A and B are shown apart, each in its own frame.
Chain A
Amino acid sequence: MKFTWFNLMPWQDLPDDFREKHRSVWVDIDSRLFDPERAHHLYNEYMDLLEYSSTLGFDGIGVNEHHQNGYGIMPSPNIIAAGLARRTKDVGLVVLGNSIALYNPPVRVAEEFAMLDCISGGRLVAGFPVGTSMDTNYCYGQIPALTREKYLEAHDLIKRAWDDPDPFAFNGRYNKLRHVNIWPRPVQKNMPVHIPGGGSVETYDFCIDNTYSYSYLSFSGYIRAKALMQGYWDRVAERNAPDDSPYRAGFAQTICVADTDVEAERLYSEHVSYFYNRCLHVHPGFADAPGYRTIKTIQSGALSQYAPPIDGYGHLSWKDLIEQGHVIAGSPETVRQRMEELIKGLRVGNIFCLMHVGNMPKDKCMYSTKLFAEKVMPKLRDMFPEYKDDNRFWCSPLVTQAKPGNLPNEQAVAQAVGGKD
């Protein structure tokens, strides 16, 4: 199993009456709610938590990209990942990912990911999302019906920019580049790639065809995810993929651990409530620009089946959120049991653990994270033993890693260069 400690980086100070006074946490969120001085502390705290979790045995630490979003203040995950690359070792840097249709030209992603891979010594796990409609269409102005075509072209360009040792001309529809020749190049020859998807058949096929891992990043939990993931595995079988390795799939799950189930509710319910009530308050008009989904996907009925509850999350109590599986919370044993159900039920080898929730303060987050790492994760580690050597979907770091901050002292420098001072 591969466990990634994932941080969305939510803004923590959305007011109590946010739902009543504001129409959306995303796209047209009120900038007056943002305080740069507070953000200074928040970014550093979130990066500290990512670094902390890397010392507890998680396989990866994860970041993602959102724009104009009150629950994800990370428009550039690469900036965060660059900081993490210097301050962590051994752990995978899961950048899930860069919305490649938004970069102009997309070789920028090939370059930045290559830089991250070089700086981190081959620890990058790359992600290429199409991007949500809110980010891609409403914030970044991409034409909905052309987004996928542009995405696929960006993907082909990035792959070739990594793989082709010689300069080449790229005459795309959206990108005209006479000399593609990125410098630097990634450490990893076969970059592990994860693709976030939301139930479209095209994305299932894209992952199967390219040997990419399919990641379902939902906030609705593992019970509602069953049909979608089953759709994926059915497709894997239908398309005669060479295997059904669980590492072909990943899932994001909100997890809170305490000594007991009761204690978990006492410690975490207000933060979970903050997340589901305020952070997921999105104007429905921004949810899905017409043309963004393919007709095939709408026809499959996937949207209604996998969508969040029709009347939103706002009314769900702690009990509802737990029972319906949106959140896995409780004692280490409760969490272990439910995680096992999740892992087996969805057949997923990659878990993106959402352990920071909403406005959770750092001490509670550290507490929950440590309990999970020490009392839950070890017991789940060896699931799917027959695929334990499947490393197609994970990074392969260099054996010898540079040590950051390792300059010689000034006296030694003076001696070495023969100077007098």
Chain B
Amino acid sequence: MELKTVKTHAVPVRYFEGGKGEPLVFLHGAGGLQAGDPFFAKLAEKHHVYAPLLPGYGDSEECTQIRDMLDVTLHTADVVDALGLKDPILVGHSMGGMIACEMAALAPSTVSRLGLICPAGLWLDDHPIPDLFAMLPYEMPQYLFHDVEAGTKLMTAGVALDDPEWLKGFLIMNARQMGMAGKILFPIPDRGLSQRLYRIKAKTVLVWGDGDKLIPPAYAHAFKKAIAGAELVSIAEASHMVTIEKTDQVVAALSKLG
């Protein structure tokens, strides 16, 4: 997998590229995307995968001009254009799923295959989503992982809270990434998507960990109801980071899209 740069109207965009096969654009969640992500590697076995980073993620440039949901949606559509892709399979995880939905709703004729892995974007009063922005790092694994112990191990690898330089680096990364994510997720990850979902024409596969403690499965049913013909694949013993916990099953579900 290679890390490359493509120019767009708003800002140069960093993206990972790898694999061979049908073009697939993967939009990452609020936590970003690391080079060694096993999900990416698995996807790349059968697809030519492009995974652009939102501005501020990884080493990519920030973009103050991107402020709201429409800005993010159009920017991401610009990225797909800039990569020279026409109607690739569009897949998004969590925040990335929200962006993918918006793209498919805004310009339905440009997205014919949509893979949504526990997407954000809706709000159900009876199932409030925990406040990701008020969570301390040590509190996160219990929401993100079914196997909390393994998740904790994964999330704390390399953490050195007592090293001021490490801490500063972490705070900067967090401010850049979650600052950007906050533009569409804070304080409630609902920017009116529910009134636009009816526009989606794409063949849609929803993938959800049935133990998701961040965006509970009630949301899976809300998405399924709102997107005509959407198919829901529930995965047992997985929480929000289902892409890491059940990589093979997620990739198998997405293979329904071609």
Contact = CB atoms under 8 A, between A and B. Distances in A.
Given A146-B67, A304-B167, A291 B134 contact: no
A411 interface: no
B182 A289 contact: yes
A137 B134 CA distance: 10
A299 B168 contact: yes
B174 interface: yes
A295 B175 CA distance: 7
Given A293-B175, A299-B168, A303-B171, A145 B182 contact: yes
Contacts of A298: 168, 171-172, 175
B177 interface: yes
A192 to B, nearest CB: 31
A143 B188 CA distance: 10
Interface in B178-234: 178-180, 182-183, 186-188
A388 to B, nearest CB: 42
Interface string A227-256: 000000000000000000000000000000
A138 B172 CA distance: 20
A143 B168 contact: no
Interface in A257-309: 283-286, 289-293, 295, 298-299, 301, 303-304
A167 interface: no
B182 A285 contact: no
A290 B175 contact: yes
Given A283-B134, A285-B136, A301-B168, A138 B187 contact: yes
Given A146-B67, A285-B136, A304-B164, A291 B187 contact: no
Nearest to B171: A298
B141 to A, nearest CB: 15
Given A143-B186, A145-B183, A304-B167, A285 B134 contact: yes
A145 B179 contact: yes
Given A144-B133, A290-B182, A295-B175, 7 more contacts: A138-B133, A141-B186, A144-B182, A285-B139, A290-B179, A291-B175, A291-B180
17 contacts: A137-B133, A141-B188, A143-B183, A284-B136, A285-B136, A289-B133, A290-B175, A290-B178, A290-B182, A291-B178, A291-B179, A298-B171, A298-B175, A299-B172, A301-B164, A301-B168, A304-B168
Interface of A: 27, 137-138, 141, 143-146, 149, 173, 283-286, 289-293, 295, 298-299, 301, 303-304
What 9 pairs between A and B have smallest CB-CB spacing?
A: A291-B179, A290-B178, A285-B134, A145-B179, A141-B187, A290-B174, A291-B182, A290-B175, A144-B182
